Amino acid sequence: MNAIVPTPQLAVLRRQTDPRLEWLCAQITRNRFLPVPPPELHFIGDGDFRAIGAEFLRHFVRLGGLRPDHKVLEIGCGVGRMALPLTQYLDSSYDGIDIVLDGIRWCASTITPAYPEFRFHHLDVANGLYNPDGRIEGETATLPFKARTYDFVILTSVITHLRTADTERYAAEIARVLKPGGRCFLSLFLADATARAGIAKGTSRPPFRDAPGVELLADPEHPNAAVAYDEEFLLGRFAAHGLRASRAVMRGHWSGQREGENFQDLLVLEKVTAP
């Protein structure tokens, strides 16, 4: 289930992509009417804001099976980099939630007025990198949504900033809010044997430190800066909540030891049993 998707298979996937999706993503990349947050709010990483969002829309549809009628929840929505392309694709509704209040305020004041079915919520969870003064501990956080509400849950580079107890809690909450058969799309760092070889050689970016245990940290003094997880452990914790990989992991090139069309690994989980 967790084998690398070889380059020839990647080529097949690209050929099988719906040309209508390719057209839409190209239009999103060039659409200067889609807003871009001001530079002081770019706490989500660098790169072309619209192009990255369009690329992930491809991933959501092609790898995750996202459909226009799906109800979507994004955990860690930031300043709407994924939400804005989704406004051009979804016919249903979207909820975005984040621990950074400034990002939620920008999305709520900029995106929601034009797209009322796109709603944004602040959850004041403590995080050493993004919200050190948060009132809620991550290991006790509860998402403010009803059980079995969503068809599709998105976490792009969220687990990469969470320690084990927080990750465990989010896994339980994702399982709770997903409908049976619903899917969760994640980008993250999964440390299998190949990735660990890259870490040991010093070719990984971020420069993780291999150590005993299930977490690998890039900077132990700032542990939330970048976290990689032992793959077997993390998939096992999700499986314990009824979330199992629905397809092979799409390997990223972060470890420097393999080819990949994305920087981080891409994982799609499906809710197969009630937790």
Q: How far is Cα 49 from Cα 111, in angstroms, rounded to an integer?
A: 15
Q: How far is Cα 88 from Cα 142, in angstroms, rounded to an integer?
A: 29
Query: How distant is the alpha carbon of residue 59 from its chain centre?
Result: 11
Q: What is the pLDDT of residue 46?
A: 65
Q: What is the pLDDT of residue 5?
A: 40
DSSP 36: -
Q: What is the pLDDT of residue 96?
A: 98
Q: What is the pLDDT of residue 33?
A: 87
Q: What is the pLDDT of residue 188?
A: 98
Strand partners, 123: none
What SS3 class is residue 183? strand
Q: What is the pLDDT of residue 62?
A: 93
Q: Is the pTM of this model over 0.85?
A: yes
Buried/exposed 168-203: b ≥16 CB within 10 Å, e otherwise? bbbbbbbbbbbeeebbbbbbbbbbbeebbbbbeeee
Average pLDDT by stretches of 10, the chain with 275 residues: 41 61 92 87 74 95 96 97 96 97 97 97 96 96 98 97 97 98 98 95 94 92 96 97 96 92 95 70
